Chain A
């Protein structure tokens, strides 16, 4: 299948630090593509550029064949590119359902409606409840988002990304800070989602990455040092030196 997202010669520097260095990347339609790399490899910077939060110094980003390099963040989301955040980034003082309903509302035309009570509009609330049900949070809908546990926050993040009906999800460390049980649940959830969506996954949890990814790209100092199927990455000597411990590589 064709590439859904293509990155060409992307570069971003912060002062003397090169965060993204002439980076090339192809994400095929329908795959779960993982990005791994040691701390400071520029993974979050890359996601920020893909979602439009940061603009690159040079290079091009294509989504579904269109050049979106100059498209602002809110408009990328409208094109079907949804992002979750590494550090939980929610509307903590709104209810769980409001959080997801806002994600639905974002794609339900403009919001210059001043009169009708948006909290009783089924076209916002129903899809929001459905997205909450998919991540297993339907029982928490009316709590303030601040009352949820960390693991539930990650689930809520995912529900919000889903509610915008994206073609592609950019997931920035969805397992960060999760306990073993919550991680297992998240992996199961992502396995379900990858049947329907193209996913770009940035993750430190190697077990999860190798369990889920169709292809893996390894970043070091903002450069791609390897890209391929999980088995090829595991065998790649350069990757082993740069990143994976010997133990990790020798494990089945």
Chain B
């Protein structure tokens, strides 16, 4: 973050500006579909930004990150169903419950390393999936339709698609800024040191477990926010939101965009979802094209899209 200006920051900011201007284009062309697609992209980018904090900067290969999407989403869905439509209640509850889940999952899984860590985070996410699928009162497998989007005081109205889009975009910008501050702080450097060499960190005097756990909880909470947004976006929550393949999608977004880079998750999310959209318009076997593309990125561009924009930065 020492250089004030470089290609990747320029592209990141250009992308954000394009996202800000998108509703103007939508207004001009009347393409409602584009607004829906990009609202989804912006929300999932928040989830990817949160995963990047633990995966890219913390080296914690969580394979259960979609669990928080589901938890945040269901916090909104269940409260709405039980007659609490206020967003001032729903959203804080979504964040707190996600944080608590992350605390429990992290406290147990961070005692392990490598493949075991991956498997335990995956197992917790799947467990959450099956528990939610078993909640007959809230639709079980079929999910739950939101009667109303989260209610805030006027003039905030989430049912206004353009306004909702801008709220999501503002939260995405805030998330990126938050992560940028965190990774350059003392806490962030401690977490990156742990990614690089955990034993050495402990040898020079860092209790690494509590820093990793804190990082894990921050990431889970932020992803819970994305969950609350996605529930409002689709007016619907279902266990499928937290199925393990969704966790896989989030990992792909982060890896594709560039792990451990500020704008990487945004690049990755836009690239993946736009590719998905374009390719599925060409052929119904679009995954046959997407698969090799991802393979090429992983094989030849280790730093993802972000890495293609310039040499990997060190400090």
Residues of chain A touching chain B, judged by Cβ–Cβ distance below 8 Å, are: 51, 53, 72-75, 77-78, 82-83, 85, 89-95, 97-98, 101-103, 105-107, 111-119, 121, 124, 142-144, 160, 164
CA–CA, A164 to B202, complex, Å? 13
Nearest 10 pairs of A and B residues by beta carbon: A77-B205, A106-B205, A95-B315, A91-B196, A144-B314, A111-B190, A113-B186, A118-B186, A111-B186, A106-B204
Nearest Cβ in chain B — how far from A105, in angstroms? 6
Residues in A neighbouring B181, C-beta threshold 8 A? 114-115, 117
CA–CA, A142 to B2, complex, Å? 11
CA–CA, A121 to B189, complex, Å? 12
Residues of chain B touching chain A, judged by Cβ–Cβ distance below 8 Å, are: 1-2, 181-182, 184-190, 192-193, 196-197, 199-208, 211, 214, 314-315
Name the contact of B196 in the complex, choosing from A93, A107, A116 (C-beta under 8 A): A93
A/B interface sample: 21 pairs, CB < 8 A: A53-B203, A74-B208, A78-B205, A82-B204, A89-B200, A89-B203, A90-B200, A91-B196, A94-B189, A95-B315, A102-B193, A106-B201, A106-B205, A112-B214, A114-B182, A115-B185, A117-B184, A118-B189, A119-B1, A142-B315, A143-B314
CA–CA, A90 to B200, complex, Å? 7
| A94→B205 contact, CB < 8 A | no
CA–CA, A94 to B208, complex, Å? 17
Which chain A residue shows the least CB distance to B207?
A74
* Chain B at the A interface: SS class: helix
CA–CA, A109 to B237, complex, Å? 44
Name the contact of B193 in the complex, choosing from A51, A72, A91, A107 (C-beta under 8 A): A91
Residues in B neighbouring A111, C-beta threshold 8 A? 186-187, 189-190, 206, 211
Question: Given A94-B189, A106-B205, A117-B1, list of 11 further CB < 8 A pairs?
Answer: A83-B203, A90-B200, A97-B315, A106-B204, A112-B187, A113-B186, A114-B185, A119-B2, A124-B186, A143-B314, A164-B205
Name the contact of A89 in the complex, choosing from B186, B189, B190, B199 (C-beta under 8 A): B199
| B187→A114 contact, CB < 8 A | yes
Which chain B residue shows the least CB distance to A163?
B204
Which chain B residue shows the least CB distance to A76?
B205
| B211→A91 contact, CB < 8 A | no
Which chain B residue shows the least CB distance to A157?
B200
Residues in B neighbouring A101, C-beta threshold 8 A? 189
Name the contact of A85 in the complex, choosing from B200, B201, B314 (C-beta under 8 A): B200
Nearest Cβ in chain B — how far from A63, in angstroms? 14
| A102→B189 contact, CB < 8 A | yes
CA–CA, A72 to B202, complex, Å? 9
